[in-house]
Amino acid sequence: MSIPNTIAITEELIASHGLKPDEYERILELIGREPSFTELGIFSAMWNEHCSYKSSKKWLRTLPTTGPYVIHGPGENAGVVDIGDGDCVIFKMESHNHPSYIEPYQGAATGVGGILRDVFTMGARPIAAMNALRFGAPDHAKTRHLVAGVVAGVGGYGNSFGVPTVGGEVEFDARYNGNCLVNAFAAGLAKTDAIFLSEAKGVGLPVVYLGAKTGRDGVGGATMASAEFDDTIEEKRPTVQVGDPFTEKCLLEACLELMQTGAVIAIQDMGAAGLTCSAVEMGAKGDLGIELDLDKVPVREENMSAYEMMLSESQERMLMVLEPARKDEAEAIFVKWGLDFAIVGKTTDDLRFRVLHQGEEVANLPIKDLGDQAPEYDRPWREPGRFSALPATDVAEPEDYAAALLTLVGSPNNSSRRWVWEQYDTLIQGNSLQIPGGDAGVVRVEGHPTKALAFSSDVTPRYVEADPFEGGKQAVAECWRNLTAVGAEPLASTDNLNFGNPERPEIMGQFVKAIEGIGEACRALGFPIVSGNVSLYNETNGEGILPTPTIGGVGLIPDWSQMAKIGTMQPGDVVLLFGGDGTHLGQSVYMRDVLGLADGPAPEVHLGDEKRNGDFIRSLIRNGQATACHDISAGGLALALAEMSIASGLGMKIDISDAAGPAHATLFGEDQARYVVSVPADMGNFLMVNAEGAGVPFRKLGTVGGETFAVEGLFEVSVSQLRDAHESWFPDYMDATPAEAAE
């Protein structure tokens, strides 16, 4: 063996495996002896944050996970939601932050590959992908390199595999300088009577290895992803996996074909911690033991040790418990697709995890203590501080409203992301109805004449840092709003909780309060969490990221012919605001990008208002009464209207003279639960009467037409100026020389 199993266990070795002294003592108590080197690696992999959720389990249990559409909630590879007619949507979001910072292309690519496997291992054919990307300040030395590599990796893998990327986010902030975030989302379609789970069943059944061969890439990846970064970051490059989307495509087709045979009893993809995690989770869930013979594992490198094989995170691999009578049939399918098929073990009844290699038992451990009974912590946490109220009158008005709006539409965080999403295949499979650039991506349900699914991903990290509770609520509400704005009924959500070091009470406090806010919003909006991922220790040299609990959501459109878009206004349309006027400038992008300030509380999220206003908007869209719709979020009313003008190629004349508050609050305030809708001229009065009857605040803003965006008495700017500012920032930034980018 290249690495012997008899390496002396030292304090340094224990620490390098991410295990604390008390955790090592617990290991000694559990097994009654010193662990072998392979066993130490197994404990390290299974007890790290990435696999065990030891710091977060207590709080995750408080989230709502059931609902009228939920078939399977958290605990499986992905969540499952019923969409009627015998169909279901299977979806999840997961992070690949640490690998993407170390090696951006492969880190992002394998993040996409991993989330796709989570979906199709349950029997679904992937139909849509999204990604939520956050990078450091544009002028930071590494940012352009990371943007270029991550975007290329996402596109390279997703495009080659053949799944459309229909939505996502890209954001810049100096707090991500040392730790970018790459959150990948995938959704697939399956039949409700053909869902495959990971729980092993039956004793003495073959455990089968499927897919690509095992190499040394990604050894220790899960442990690396559960640690802070420091100046030795480049040394961790070997822990990043290498992906092959074409092998993944073959694996998808082979798995879906195999699933139709009745051979599959349980199936689990090999993600974080590879063979170790997949085998342990399958056995522990089924209250069974697992015995593995590593001599049977297909490998692509010579002299691989037990430690390396157990901890390798080589991609495009699955583990399955097989119906013995179907062995030959199953093997033939995988051989046909050019993939490995090997019986590498069996299920047992003794709740032990045994690993054999070259005639030696290199591991013999209690499987439940590795899996669902791994350590769980109630870490100390501190209540986050709060900002005092910031009246709009205490925030300076812009000297030039037109210049302020042009600054916002052309800023790093509010400009068009076309440069990014044009590198993704957004149309493959031929079912995409809305691609990135609007409120939500929309994909037809294959085989159904009218149904479509909508997808969105959202969080506003600056809100979460200012007030984790309100920020957590807002992330859910904005995702729910974006689905509503295209006419979809929000069904369920997935979370990707990205935070710093949970051993710091102030960081743990952010996590706890954000979870509380997320839970409250999900309950109020009927939007349960059915899957997700926690990513902690997103820090470099003690500098943590902004708290970033990303929410991905799925909604159902019964008839896509009544779907709304942001860019379909017509000349002569009336422009209506539903929801109150803008008042809140605390933590707004107006303050950040125009005034260069960050102050005040996050906006409050009134969930009753969100539900009432959203249900009203969804109803008018489905009644065919809206020509275009857009929710109001970052940048307030002015930015929402400008984006609609840019997307439609039409101007508008707006009058806010009778608004109660100051003009800059009305235009740039980021109050929640609000939408802008354009409607035919003869429909405006009717809808305002309906809104009054429903208790929904409303305002007639003006009319669509011409080539300028004008707010009476304040400013006028051409749509072409807005478009140029909106579309130019990203390509100019990515094409600039390093010296130019730093200016």
Are 113 and 248 contacting, i.e. CB atoms less than 8 angstroms apart?
Answer: yes
Residue 217 φ then ψ, to 5°? -70, 140
Active site residues: 50, 96
- d(CA 417, CA 709) in angstroms, rounded, equals 22
Cα 12 to Cα 18, 38, 234, distances in angstroms? 10, 16, 20
Are 114 and 271 contacting, i.e. CB atoms less than 8 angstroms apart?
Answer: yes
Question: If we measure between CA atoms, which residue out of 159, 19, 185, 18 comes closest to residue 91?
Answer: 185
- Helix, strand, or coil (residue 700): strand
- d(CA 242, CA 107) in angstroms, rounded, equals 8
Spell out the residues 6+ positions from residue 504 whose beta carbon is closer than 8 angstroms to its own: 544
Q: Among the residues of 61-191, which ranges form H helices?
A: 97-102, 104-120, 143-161
> Could you give the maximum distance between any two Cα atoms of the chain, in Å?
85
- d(CA 154, CA 109) in angstroms, rounded, equals 5
Cα 98 to Cα 312, 537, 675, distances in angstroms? 16, 9, 37
- Residue appearing with tokens 């109660």: 660
- Residue appearing with tokens 């009134």: 606
Give the burial string for 125-135 (b: 16+ CB within 10 Å, else e): bbbbbbbbbbb
Q: What is the residue type of 187?
A: A
- d(CA 496, CA 184) in angstroms, rounded, equals 9
Q: Among the residues of 388-430, which ranges form H helices?
A: 401-409, 418-421
Query: Read out DSSP for 337-399?
Result: TT-EEEEEEEEESS-EEEEEETTEEEEEEEHHHHTTTS--------PPP-PPP--GGGSPPPS
Question: If we measure between CA atoms, which residue out of 668, 674, 671 comes closest to residue 595?
Answer: 668
Q: Which two tokens mark 541?
A: 């040299």
Question: If we measure between CA atoms, which residue out of 47, 41, 50, 48 comes closest to residue 363?
Answer: 41
Give residue 447's region: left, alpha or beta (phi > 0; psi -120 to 50). left
Are 160 and 245 contacting, i.e. CB atoms less than 8 angstroms apart?
Answer: yes
Cα 365 to Cα 46, 368, 538, distances in angstroms? 12, 9, 31
Sequence length of the chain is 743
Spell out the residues 6+ positions from residue 356 whose beta carbon is closer than 8 angstroms to its own: 291, 292, 293, 294, 295, 362
- d(CA 125, CA 88) in angstroms, rounded, equals 11
Are 639 and 698 contacting, i.e. CB atoms less than 8 angstroms apart?
Answer: no
- Residue appearing with tokens 């599959």: 264
Spell out the residues 6+ positions from residue 741 whose beta carbon is closer than 8 angstroms to its own: 138, 139, 144, 733
Residue 461 φ then ψ, to 5°? -60, -35
